[in-house]
Amino acid sequence: MSLSISGKTAIVTGAAKGIGLAVARHFVAKGANVMFADIDEASLEAEVGEEARGEGAVRMFAGDLREKLTISNLLSATHDAFDRVDILVNASRRWRLSDPLNPEADGVETLWQENVLTALRLSQMTAKRMISHAEKIGAEGPIGSIINVSSLAACRTQPDLLGYSIASAAVEQMTRSLAVALAPKGIRVNAISFASVMSASLQIALKEEPDWRSEIAQATPLGRIAPPDELAEAMQFLASEAASFITGQVIAVDGGRGLLDRASAPAY
């Protein structure tokens, strides 16, 4: 089986910075057509604006994907540009600390909406487009791959990450449920659970808490914080034919972090 995604069309959310940007750029480098999607229009413009206005493999879409109309517009824009969607990467995510005993500051509603419901609705609506396109052209067999992003927080108990932990755990169960529902349609759904990866949120956190860098590295068996490009390589594998018999799985890309009980280190 091939690791190639050349000629495929992917939507990558959260593509203005961090993990989403790394994945989107990696996919373009590997020959895919990519729609860079993010709510942050200014950052999108700075990263890919000029390239997206060309006739090549890059397009950009700015909008609030918490709105179903925005999701519909994203899918229409992708089909207008590339005629199809083969891969969806739900890399858009938000991280924040929680006060676990304060309903006004636990972050549960906000993170549930932004990290869970947005990915769920986009996955559902993208899957419908994938199925409709396959029926239209008479395609048989595998027709698409959806990849979600979770984190070590889904299974690591830290009270000050209450909202983020709940959302991450929900994303993993959502992945399993959609995998079973969409398997008969030829769509695979998997997730990457990461930790010790230099996401945009970790970069911001390290500016405020520079000591976390050494704490996280020491809590990681491989002894380092990985660049987001290493996550992108795993994403390519899950999107490719090499993973054609893999669905409903949550694959850890964490340098072995989840194997150790080091609750003192932040679950990034």
User: Mapping DSSP to helix (H, G, I), strand (E, B) and coil, where does residue 32 land?
Assistant: coil
pLDDT of residue 106: 61
pLDDT tens digits along 56-80: 999 999 999 999 999 999 999 999 9
Q: Of 209, 103, 123, 119, whose CA–CA distance to 163 is shortest? A: 103
What percentage of the chain's residues is helix, strand, coil (to nearest 5)? 50, 15, 35
- Looking at domain 9-259, which CATH architecture does it have? 3-Layer(aba) Sandwich (3.40)
Which residues on adjacent β-strands are paired with residue 11? 35, 88
Q: Of 68, 65, 61, whose CA–CA distance to 82 is shortest? A: 61
Position 266 confidence tier, pLDDT thresholds 50, 70, 90: low
Q: What is the enclosing helix (H) or strand (E) of 23?
A: helix 18-29
Tell me the average pLDDT across 94-100: 71
Structure tokens at 163: 């909202």
Rounded to the nearest integer, the mean pLDDT of the chain is 92
Distance, in Å, from the CA atom of 17 to the CA atom of 27, rounded to the nearest integer, reads 15
- Delimit the domains of the chain by residue range: 9-259
Position 239 confidence tier, pLDDT thresholds 50, 70, 90: very high
pLDDT-wise least confident of 18-22, 97-101, 142-146, 258-262 = 97-101
Spatial CB neighbours of 206, under 8 Å, sequence gap ≥ 6: 212, 213
pLDDT of residue 262: 57
pLDDT of residue 264: 58
pLDDT tens digits along 180-221: 999 999 999 999 999 999 998 888 888 888 888 999 999 999
pLDDT of residue 226: 95
Q: What is the DSSP string of 113-133?
A: IIIIIHHHHHHHHHHHHHHHH
pTM of the complete model: 0.94
